[in-house]
Amino acid sequence: MSDADIVIIADDHPLFRAALSDTLGRELPKATLVEAADFNQLQHQVENHPQASLAVVDLYMPGAHGFSSLIFLTAHFPQIPVLMISANDSDDIVRRAADHGATGFLSKSADAESIRRAIKAVAGGQMSFPEHVDLSIPEISDEESNIAEALASLTPQQFRVATMLSQGLLNKQIAYELQVTEATIKAHITEIFKKLGVHSRTQAALALGKLDLAGPGDQDT
C-alpha cells in the first residue's frame, strides 16, 4: 500500500470522525483511513504518510491555534490537499482558510451530497469552497499574514515547541514530552522568538493567538 492510498481524518470528536470515515469509505473505497484526534497526532500522521492523497482537518484542533494546523500542513506538506471542516462557516472564516492555503472548506452542517462532492473534488485535485463565498476578497490582515509566514519558516520540531509554549508548558515539560534536553528546547525557543520577532513567551502566545478564530462560533461543538 502506498501513501497515495492514505486519507487522514483529523477531528477531536470521535462520532464525527466515525461519520466522516463512513462517508470517505463509500466515496474513496480504495483508500485506507487514518485518524488524528489532536494537532500532535495530526503531525505524526502526515510525517508517517507524507504523500497522503487527502487530509480532512477540523479547523478547531486541540493543540493548535485556529489556522496554525493548516499553516503547518501547507508549509511542510504542500503536496497533501487539505479539506478544512468546521461548524463555523462564516464567510470571513472560509476566506481566511482559503488565504492560508486550504484546498477546500466544508461546513459540519453540510448535507451528505455536499460532503460527497467536496471530498470528491479535493481528492481529485480541485478546489471546493461554498459557492456563496467570494474568495476574491482578501481576508487576512498583514499582521496575520506575517505571523503565518513566520510560523511557516519554523521547522516541524520548532512548530511543536511553539505550540506547547503557547499552551503555557515549561521548558522541562516540553523537553519531557519531546524526549529531548532542556538545552535543546532553549535553543528552539531562541529561534522561535527570532523568527516571530518577539522577546517573551507572552508575546509568542499573543502572536499565535492572532491565528485563532473570532466570534461566537469559534469552537466546534
Tell me: pLDDT of 73 over 70.
yes
Tell me: pLDDT of 169 over 80.
yes
Specify whether the CB–CB gap between 16 and 108 falls below 8 A: yes
Cβ-in-10-Å burial (0-12, 13-18, 19+) of 42 comes to: buried
Residues 141, 146, 151, 153, CA torsion sign: positive
pLDDT, position 182 = 95
pLDDT, position 32 = 92
Give pLDDT tens digits for 96-139.
Answer: 999 999 999 999 888 888 888 998 899 888 999 998 899 988 88
Give 218's contacts (C-beta < 8 A, 6+ positions apart): 60, 66, 88, 212
**Is residue 4 very low, low, confident or very high in pLDDT (cuts 50, 70, 90)?**
low
| Block residue for cell numbers 472548506 | 105
CB atoms within 10 A of CB 61: 23
CB atoms within 10 A of CB 194: 12
